Amino acid sequence: MNAKVKYWVEEIVSMCEPNEVVWITGSKEQYDALYEEACTNGELIKLNEEKHPNCYLHRSNQNDVARTEDKTFICSDAKEDAGPTNNWCDPEEMYDKLKKLYKGSMKGKKMYLIPFAMGVIGSDFAKYGIEASDSIYVVLNMEKMARVGQDALDKINETGQFVKCLHACKDLNFDDRYITHFPQDDTIWSINSAYGGNALLSKKCFALRIASCNARDEGWLAEHMLILGIENPDGEINYIAAAFPSACGKTNLAMLIPPELYAKKGYKVWCVGDDIAWIRAGEDGRLWAMNAENGFFGVAPGTNKNSNPNMVKTLESDVIFTNVAHDIDDNTIWWEGLTSLLESDRIVDWKSEKWTPNDGTKGAHPNSRFTVKAENCPCLSKEFDNPDGVPLSAIVFGGRRAKTFPLVVQSKDWEHGVFIGSIMGSETTAAATSAIGIVRRDPMAMLPFCGYNMADYFEHWLNVGEKLTNPPKIFNVNWFRTDENGRFIWPGFSENMRVLDWIIKRSKGDGNAELTPIGFIPAPDEINIKDLKNVTTDIIKNLLSLDNSLWKEEIINIKSFYDTFEGKVPKSLKKALLDLEKDLI
């Protein structure tokens, strides 16, 4: 055992005082025994083996169903390094406070030590961590989400480099819940939550918050992005990475099935990842992206044969479902949108209470989840395990905007693309009436996940671009424009392929576009609407139009967001905002 590993384990064991320490080796026998134990102690329910082979249901504590941003801290040495978008606490103060909470927290329990890799083990991209946790549920989820076991531990022992991740469920007390990051120590301490985003420390905590700090120091990018490949009829595959805020359909886009028009010609889409991309400059001057994860931790409600047929197939076996509804007669699961008709009086909701669709409540929690390995996905890219990742032709940003952003716009260049990413926003609620939702600014979809000052993060993006001789083109898309009745205008889902098609064309220097104040907008006949019911050229014109008066309001909102950084926003981005203001007249 590497001395650094040994020292860390001794330290946390003496603090948490578990009865026993168990290393997770990655062996099938060990996992089988853990599943059995979890079914015996009620943490998991084994589902109908015929209908859901090797699948399990977990119900969380009712106060513990989502990420808790107000309890998430970046404990950098200086407050300014966390920036205005993060909660900050002095590291010594936070360590002292949490040491008291961890003290003796695992008495009578086992501490599982989970060695894991983010990215392909041995690749230049990969990074390593060890998560200590008192939860079998966490162990079994981590097995699906990261590359766990002896091979990862061997690498850690070789170098002594690993992110130190400590997780304790303790008593799940909401008031004492903390999700804390110490970037200067490559350390994450999480206590009193078992929710995925708070407890599977490989995901948001390591692969985004800590990794974004590593990326800043080492000259690469850790991003909240899906990665997909579009194969054309000649067999050429172009890769796109795309950032959208949570709940804007990243997983659905990553697994898109091309509409008939494209499928017949031989187009295919391959999924490389649905949530986290680590991106580096290659020697060829291009950007190369890799999915840091090994599985999907997706939102269940709304997933069905129409919205994401590939995910429905992915979920056929070997899944852990969390907080979905349970058909107790059949021992199967259900969620809103999975199937429309439910024979009821056999359903219990996510809280395990009797439930029917007429109760006026949700059967599955709106943030109920599935955890499944990427290898289950029928459209998984052949490059998934490529240690070099995939070369990017385009980077796409997107948010949920009822009126302002057009269906698609291409930035003028890298610097302008960084500006477009920095002014991203998303409406918090879908407009039930025609009222426009509240905009939350969410630069690069990283607002909750950037582990340092976002003004420095913008600067870092600019620096990365400067070194590229062949940078990907940067775009912004908006699938969510609504009409005067609040209905979505663009059909979305697989039809988004039509927009991706234009994006690939433009990234090769083809296709026609008009330069507008916010960038290049396609000429209306550039978006292929053949065979699309209900989308006419006039509708496309409308989707691609800009409303100057709304954009003027938008600029006021962006300015006040930029102001929160107290002068730190890079000059070139402030200039891009002034130029936009001028050009809109």
- Where do contacts with Mn ion occur on this chain (CB under 5 A)? 275
Q: Which residue has the CB atom at the shortest distance from Mn ion?
A: 275
Q: Which of 43, 64, 134, 275 binds ligand OXD (CB under 6 A)?
A: 275
- Which residue's CB is nearer to ligand OXD, number 65 or number 418? 65
303 binds ligand OXD (CB under 6 A): no
Annotated catalytic residue: which of 248, 271, 377, 379?
248
DSSP string for 312-331: HHHTTSS-EEES-EEETTTT
The nearer residue to ligand OXD, 445 or 513, going by C-beta atoms, is 445
Tokens standing for residue 11 = 């330290």
Distance CA 281, CA 470 (A): 10
**Residue whose C-beta lies closest to ligand OXD:** 246
| Identity of the residue, 281 or 445, whose beta carbon is nearer to ligand OXD in the bound complex | 445
Which spans in 241-400 are helix H? Answer: 250-254, 260-265, 309-314
Residue that has been written with the tokens 């139009």 in this structure: 545
Q: Judged by CB under 6 A, how many residues of this single chain contact ligand OXD?
A: 5
Cβ neighbours for 43, distance < 8 A, ≥ 6 positions apart: 58, 136, 137
Nearest distance in Å: CB 252, ligand OXD: 13
- Rule CB under 6 A: which of 22-51 touch ligand OXD? none
Interaction partner, residue 326 (ligand OXD, Mn ion, none; CB < 5-8 Å by kind): none
Dihedral sign for Cα atoms in the order 118, 181, 64, 274? negative
Nearer residue to ligand OXD within complex by CB, 296 or 551 = 296
Site for ligand OXD in 330-369 (CB under 6 A): none
DSSP one-letter code for 354: B
Contacts of 567 (CB under 8 A, 6+ apart): none
Q: Tell me the C-alpha to C-alpha distance, in Å, between residue 303 and each of 48, 274, 370.
A: 20, 14, 10
Q: Which helix (H) or strand (E) holds 543?
A: helix 537-543
Q: Which does 414 bind (CB under 5 to 8 A by kind): Mn ion, ligand OXD, none?
A: none
**339 touches 305 (CB < 8 A):** no
CB of 297 vs ligand OXD, minimal distance in Å: 6
Which of the residues 428 through 487 are near ligand OXD (CB under 6 A)? none
Residue closer to ligand OXD, measured from CB, 16 or 324: 324
CB 208 within 8 A of CB 276: yes
Does 67 interact with ligand OXD (rule: CB under 6 A)?
yes
- CB 322 → ligand OXD: shortest distance, Å? 12
Select the binding partner of residue 67 from Mn ion, ligand OXD, none (C-beta < 5 to 8 A, by kind): ligand OXD
The listed partner (Mn ion, ligand OXD, none) that binds 274, CB under 5 to 8 Å by sort, is none
Binding to ligand OXD (CB under 6 A): which residues in 194-253?
197, 246
The 10 Å CB-count burial string (b at 16+, else e) for 517-536 is ebbbbbebebbbbeebeebe
Asked if 248 is an active-site residue, the reply is yes
Token pair recorded at residue 287: 């950007």
Written as six digits, the tokens of 196 are: 């995925």
By beta-carbon proximity to ligand OXD, the closer residue of 197 and 406 is 197
Active site residues: 248
What is the binding site for ligand OXD (CB under 6 A)? 67, 197, 246, 275, 297
